[in-house]
Structure 1
Amino acid sequence: MTSRVTLVSPAMSPSLRQARFYDGDSLDDTGAARARAAAGARAAA
């Protein structure tokens, strides 16, 4: 039996870029664009 695992990382925000814990900030422009692209590329389960 073959298993498939898809790893998903969080979209980038200023906190993640500075290697800090999430402090309520919004996604930056690059993170938002990559999240939109990933949403369209996700295969149906």
Structure 2
Amino acid sequence: MCGIAHAVDVHGGPPTDRVDTARRYLEAFLGGLRTTPPNAKP
């Protein structure tokens, strides 16, 4: 979480875009923790 916050501070763009940037970074991070791909068939 600290790494995402720092990345958003450094590369987040203008303050109005930082929430969207943080959400994109967090989504990418959480997607990497999945045990199965989101499009895998059960």
* Bin of the TM-score, shorter chain as denominator length: 0.3 to 0.5
Query: TM-score, normalized by length of structure 1?
Result: 0.35
Larger radius of gyration: 1
Greater helix share, structure number: 2
Query: TM-score, normalized by length of structure 2?
Result: 0.36
